[in-house]
Amino acid sequence: MKLNIAVIKGDGIGPEIVTEAMKVLDKVAFVYSHEINYKEVLMGGASIDAYGIPLTDETIEVCRFSDAVLMGSIGGDTNTSPWYKLEPSKRPEAGLLGIRKALNLFANLRPAYLYRELSDACPLKKEIADKGFDMLIMRELTGGLYFGERKTVTENGIKKAVDTLTYTEEEIRRIAIKAFEIARKRRNSVISVDKANVLDSSRLWRSVVNEVSKDYPDVKLEHMLVDNCAMQLVRDPSQFDVVLTENMFGDILSDEASMITGSIGMLSSASLNDTKFGLYEPSHGSAPDIAGLNIANPIATILSASMMLRYTFDLDKEADDIERAVNSVLSDGLRTADIYTDGTTKISCSDMGDEIAGRIGK
């Protein structure tokens, strides 16, 4: 298969971790007889330095005509970087918001998986952590409260702020379809999270999700109120497979889920549109304080590349191989600085990429 991938290495540690992910992808291509064509473009701070803006039309077009985008971290030190002396619309993160809008990336996927070898870093009780968990939070990314009309007014001498939470049935339907399709690649279970006991938008959400579920009789559907879901994530995260929810709830729940894994350096993510196209990136930031030191953890980016193979290219076997290689490295006690503990072996960012690539196809 020919894979056309746009590459945005980004800022801070971004170039280092993306380079290692590309190393692993190249090994996958060699072992499984695929051809990868990379096209590198700039976004974020690197684009500001080169072009004066965080996102150019050229970058958008290259990404649009690629099969997928592999991206590193965007941004810098908000206290010292000259990028953050610019108006908000010209700062690095504006590029990320811009590309999501330009490419219609409405479905955000955030896996949360507890590696047995890293279970001591999990903040939950040992008896809970020992059960393990492997969930994927699917967050609607372009609608809801964050994108509704908002205003602040003064009425009778008192300030009042208004934020509007709006969803159409089509916005709900398309994210629900994605959730059920992806559940078929996992364990055939969807828990849809809402606040249907209070909000009209949630009642519509639940109604549309129920309609969509009729086309997926092999996938089990449950509904859960958001406050209960927040509690259940720390009480028994092993019960979750695919968690489907709206924008604000997903923002909060995905951060909660990331914390119980014990290390954000291990967490991948994807943002998809209504085709197979997706933008794949690590969940963590650009860590400018360690940029260039070759000590960053590339595993989140490598796992993002695995998600790309699975969800954009339907190369499940190859994706499984990357995930198996990551598990193998951890089982052998190899660690980057952020996940190092006594009794394990500390290795560099590039060495971690070498070790994972070396296990592909074995």
- Residues 34 and 3: beta-carbon distance below 8 Å: yes
**What pLDDT was estimated at residue 97?**
87
pLDDT at 354: 98
State the first-to-last Cα distance of the chain, in angstroms, to the nearest integer.
21
The number of CA neighbours under 13 Å toward the Cβ of 159 is 3
Per-residue pLDDT at 121: 86
The pTM (predicted TM-score) of the whole model is 0.90
Q: Which fold has domain 115-264?
A: Isopropylmalate Dehydrogenase (3.40.718)
- Say which residues have a Cβ less than 8 Å from residue 230's Cβ, sequence separation at least 6: 252, 253, 256
pLDDT at 264: 77
**Residue spans of the chain under pLDDT 70:** none
What is residue 14's predicted lDDT score, i.e. its pLDDT?
97
pLDDT of residue 350: 98
DSSP string, 32-87: HT-EEEEEEE--THHHHHHHSSSS-HHHHHHHHTSSEEEE------TTT-GGGGS-
Q: Looking at residue 120, what is its pLDDT?
A: 86
Contact criterion met (CB below 8 Å) for 350 and 22:
no
Instruction: Identify the pLDDT of residue 333.
Output: 96
Where, residue-wise, is CATH 3.40.718.10 in the chain? 1-103+277-362, 115-264
Which CATH class for the 1-103+277-362 domain? alpha beta
pLDDT score, position 107: 96
Active-site residue numbers?
146, 195, 227, 251, 255
> Residues 223, 252: contact at Cβ < 8 Å?
no
The sign of the dihedral angle between the CA atoms of 76, 79, 82, 87 is: positive
Q: How many CB atoms lie within 10 A of CB 82?
A: 10
DSSP-H helix ranges across the chain: 14-32, 45-51, 57-64, 92-102, 126-129, 169-183, 200-213, 226-235, 247-261, 299-311, 316-331, 349-358
Cα–Cα distances (Å) from 304 to 17, 32, 283, 353, in that order, read 11, 19, 9, 14
Strands 35-41 and 2-8: parallel
**What integer pLDDT is reported at residue 147 of this predicted model?**
87
